[in-house]
Amino acid sequence: MDRDSPEVEDYEEVSVPEECELAEYDDAPAEAPLEGGGVEWRAGTSDRLTVEALRGTFGRPPVPSGFRMGQEALLFNQTACDYVVERGEEGHESAVIRVYGVTGEGHSVLCRVHGFLPYFYVAAPADWDESVLESFREALESTMAKFAGDERHGAADAVVGVSLVERRSVLYYRPEAEGGKFVRIAVRTPAQLRQAANLLRDGHVMRMPFELYDSTIDHVLRFMIDKDMVGCSWVELPAGSYTPLPDAALLSNTQIAVEVSWEWLTSHAPTKEWLRSAPLRILSLDIECAGRKGVFPEPDKDSVIQIACHVSVYGGSAALHRAVFTLNTCAMIPGVHVYSFDDEAELLQAFRNFCVAVDPDILTGYNIVNFDLPYLLNRAAHLRASRFPFLGRVRLARTQMRKTKMSSSAFGTHDSMVFSIEGRVVMDMMQVIIREYKLRSYSLNSVASEFLDEQKEDVHYSIISDLQAGNEHTRRRLAVYCLKDAYLPQRLMEKLLALTNYTELARVTGVPLDWLLSRGHMVKVVSLLHRKATRVGLLVPDLPRKQGDSGGGGDSGPQYEGATVIEPKKGFYRMPIATLDFASLYPSIMMAHNLCYSTLVRESDVKRLRPEDYVRSPLGHCFVRPTVRKGILSVILEELLQSRKVAKRDMAAATEPFLKEVLNGRQMALKISANAVYGFTGASTGKLPCMEISASVTAFGRQMIELTKNAVESMYPGAEVVYGDTDSVMVKFGDDIRLERVMALGAEAAAALTRRFPPPVKLEFEKAYFPYLLISKKRYAGLLWTRPEQHDKMDCKGIESVRRDNCRLVANVVSAVLRKLLVDQDVDGAIEFVKRVVSELLQNKIDLSLLVVSKTLTRDVEKYEAKQAHVFLVEKLRKRDRGSAPGLGDRVPYVIIKGATKDEKAYMRAEDPIYVLENGTPIDAQYYLENMLRKPLERIFSAVMKRPEQLFSGAHTRSIHVTAPRAGSGITKFAKFRLQCVGCRAAINEAELARLGLTGTALCAHCRQREPEWYRKTLHQAVALEKQYNALWTQCQACMGSCVQDVLCSNGDCPIFYRRRKVQKDITEAYATLARFSDAW
């Protein structure tokens, strides 16, 4: 890029530190004295790294000798919950609940809960009474035995009890039918429950099909609901109610292991003092593998060469322990325990022992679910390290992994691994960030840059093998790199309050913490619905997956009209625009109109109700009013929103920073949960879809938006609603009204209109936009004001600045244009800026790093059906050098170059940016102009100027510069190149210079008289390039944490990477030009 280009001002500037900061692990002292810190264990000593030996250094604080197990109450913070099926002394199988947690003093706990039986309900025929139950039980048991193929055990073992109870279904309001008969069926194991339910549903028992209720709820969740226990709550076992687990040392890796009957266990609601969390231990890990050239590491072929671990305590900022396990020798690292091995199996076993000794509650890292953990388990299996896959808190329980389908808006539907590590929650920060944030890239480097404002050295796996094959110092460098990759996820967890927010979400929704990470969003509402239904004596029907009648939905998705979008009146508004928002619109509508499963009335039953007893939605669906029956969803929503008000009030009053963070996480969890209720009713493939509810909600919402628009425009002469979307309307009150007056009018209008809606619907004024750029539906931008003194931020919706399939140039230009339009309010300046960028692009003055697009190779090349640029480039690179070509899982950066013909497809013109830099391959500037810049900029400027296409035509587009390819590359290998004069750029006639007796080939005969001047200019250019290169090099050294080692980073997503390579090439060419000068002068 030209140093005088305005791009330096308007795009990203490289900030170079005055001095290089050393890495945390290089020369910095440990944050706390670590016993044995920096001690290295050599090969052959893995037998000394037993769990007991490692506990001496890394273990939890010991349980006080004065603690009287069983005679004192045991109180602990529950972190995980599961069950295991065991066969008892009498030969019966039973499901034992296992609750894991940590005491307030940091001691780990395993509590085995006995006696809680799986159960479900079926609707009983009207003529059934107690006399039928025994024959029903016998018929069910014999049918189960028959279908299980085990006549001996089924009849006597499976069904523990049946009873006739009075309950109501949560689905539909039935006049004059407020109760019904149901059979409660208790069995021994969840597997038997599923078998019994299927047989009853399909009509195999007593030759009649039964309607099922509460049969699909998970056994752990059923236990938690019945005990009123929520995720991450504090659990108490009263003194004398529990006993120490016999042979606890043989069965458990926890410090305290007990068993109790389920009736004795109690749980404290997460309020006041029970909002606190125990000192949970967090282990963040990262592994490095010995990759082969051009091949992504495979566990059956490539060794695990390093495992880095970073241990911390929840709520504390300092590292508790740092350790690294290396294959072969490694120089010591201050503050880090370094363990070296000659045998890989010993390395893996030592890490496993370390994990058990540290006894973490949370396992984290970046992409550990889909890479690190599967790789370790598969590698251990290949090496037959049989003791490795026992990483959990139950000694004889093997760590399990299975593949499942995961869905996200960022990546769509894809395969992911789910782990069962007894008593430990796997919290992969990559999955957390994908769920919660929409980013351009989800690589650790990009995420760290986004949230921590720091970069990391990105060493390609093909280089890792070279470092491993070096000496103890190169392996030390690899260890430092690995340690940082283990440290950053913990930093991200702390910065983003991930554990705090997920803890509060588990408490609010009532599900185990790990479910929030491994299961879909609907499980949260399932928990809330079943909890409330159980308290009021309602049963949740188990609907078939495919159901076309009321209460069900097909696989095609919801067949109803969505939210209203008022047609936007496009333009650039230089006057304030007030925004009126409905607070929690959809939950408010459901509460205001009592929309619920339990209040929905079938059309055939409506005639039996008085008109004043029900409300009919705009679509014609009927729901009884709260005076007849209050909907269970309304009660859930009221409790959630009321709890949110309390949490926000307590947060404002709190003085302790950590408590403020917890309460903020709680109020956000309550908001998320309330908004999820509407989505649950509209999910056609969910547990209990009900299109009558979801369609009625959106219909009421459309009605309210239209009413608001008409009311505002009638109440305020000259007022105009310029746009409305789902739960908000944007109002222009006039052309010459000051911001303060607009904000006052907005608050006044919101209060007046709120009185027209049924409570708790509330219209609020919280912000105004000034100025406001309205481009189209779902696309607008403006300066957001919540107080008239100063704007809060520039708010953009739907603007194409974060799309991953765009290059950085698009995001930078769009951001700069919006800044000029909105902050500077300089339309002419924005137009001139775009013209300048267009001109520079055509003249090849734009930094190549801004034109790079990067995509991941997610599967084998031959498995791609559509032609894609990065896939085509991989094939091209493999033909050049298979060993250095990108492999599966690699990011593939590319730029689009000029083609040999006009008809050549864009994907065929994708090229490696480094190859382009080194060979001077010309970029297809017209492609970037037409396919990346034009559409987003025309959309923005269509609201500002009449003919936005003028930005891409005119005098500023007539000067075009195309890079000349390097001699000997591509087709130029057949061409003969002549040197150019440094001064006038004329071709050098070397024969003519020789005839005149002139030495040197830098200048033509005409320019020779100014040779000292031209030499000085060329030298100054070379020196300037060296300074620029040194600045970039220093930046990279600061990133990798060393001022004395070579930079090995190959992060193609980092703009500095390409700038450094380009300047390096420019320096070489500058000194080659200097060498052409003669020394005669």
At residue 762, what are phi and psi to the nearest 5 degrees? -140, 125
- In a domain, residue 849? The reply is yes
CATH number, position 164: 2.40.50.730
What is the structure's pLDDT at 406?
63
Q: At what angle do helices 522-536 and 657-682 cross, to 10 degrees?
A: 90
The pLDDT of residue 228: 96
Q: What is the pLDDT of residue 545?
A: 56
Residues 6+ away with beta carbon under 8 Å from 393: 100, 108, 110, 252, 253, 254, 359, 422, 423, 424
Assigned token pair, 1003 = 């200048």
Q: What is the pLDDT of residue 986?
A: 86
CATH of the domain at 599: 3.90.1600.10
Residue span of the structural domain in which 496 resides: 40-54+280-510
If DSSP codes are grouped into helix, strand and coil, which group holds residue 159? strand
Residue 272 lies in a domain: yes
Of 279, 304, 328, the last residue of a domain is 279
What sections of 184-292 are H helices per DSSP? 190-201, 219-226, 248-251
As a whole number of angstroms, the distance between CA 605 and CA 1064 comes to 81
Of 152, 45, 32, 143, nearest to 91 by C-alpha is: 152
* Residues 870 and 886 both lie in one domain: yes
Phi/psi for 911 (5° steps) reads -140, 150
Return the closest-CA partner of residue 508 out of 629, 262, 675: 675
Pairwise CA distance, residues 379 & 307, whole Å: 13
Same domain as 780, residue 708? yes
* Domain presence at residue 308: yes
Same domain membership, residue 250 and residue 213:
yes
Q: Which of 768, 797, 826 is the last residue of a domain?
A: 797
pLDDT digit string, tens, across residues 603-624 = 999 999 999 999 999 999 999 9
pLDDT (0 to 100) of residue 1069? 87
What pLDDT does 299 receive? Answer: 94
Round to whole Å and give the CA distance between 594 and 137. 40
Predicted local distance difference test score (pLDDT) of residue 35: 38
Residue entry with tokens 């001002």: 9
Q: CA of 398: how far to CAs of 113, 247, 422, 992, in Å?
A: 21, 19, 9, 83
Same domain, 252 and 338: no
903 burial level (CB within 10 Å; 0-12, 13-18, 19+)? exposed
Do both 285 and 434 map to the same domain?
yes
- CA-based R_g, the chain, Å: 34
pLDDT reported for residue 66: 78
- What whole-number distance in Å separates Cα of residue 1060 and Cα of residue 455? 15
- Regarding whether 897 and 786 lie in a shared domain, the answer is no
Pair (442, 563) in one structural domain: no
Which domain CATH number covers 321? 3.30.420.10
- So what's the pLDDT on residue 6? 33
User: Is residue 236 located within the same domain as residue 98?
Assistant: yes
Cα(817)–Cα(808) distance, integer angstroms: 14
8 in any annotated domain: no
Distance CA 953, CA 743 (A): 42
Residue 968 placed within a domain: no
Distance CA 932, CA 420 (A): 45
Same domain as 287, residue 275: no
pLDDT tens profile 444-481: 988 998 899 887 777 766 688 888 989 999 999 899 98
The DSSP code sequence of 810-825 is HHHHHHHHHIIIIIS-
Give the total number of structural domains in the chain: 4
Residue 949's CATH number: 1.10.132.60
Residue 63 exposed, middle or buried by CB count within 10 Å (0-12, 13-18, 19+): middle
338 and 458, same structural domain?
Answer: yes
- Asked which of 495, 510, 525 is the last residue of a domain, the reply is 510
Q: Evaluate whether residue 1047 is within a structural domain.
A: no
Q: Is position 288 within any domain?
A: yes
Q: What is the pLDDT of residue 978?
A: 76
Do 247 and 298 lie in one domain? The reply is: no
Q: How many CB atoms lie within 10 A of CB 161?
A: 12
End-to-end CA distance of the chain: 33
Report phi then psi at 83, rounded to 5: -140, 160
Angstrom distance (rounded) from CA 670 to CA 501: 11
What beta strand segments (E) does 49-92 contain?
74-87
Look at residue 945 and tell me if it is in a domain. yes
Q: Are residues 704 and 845 in the same domain?
A: no
Ranges of the chain with pLDDT below 70 = 1-47, 149-156, 177-178, 248-249, 294, 406-414, 460-462, 545-563, 800-805, 883, 962-977, 1040-1045, 1049-1053, 1080-1081
Task: Judge contact between 217 and 157, C-beta under 8 A.
Answer: no
State phi, psi for 148 to the nearest 5 degrees. -80, -10
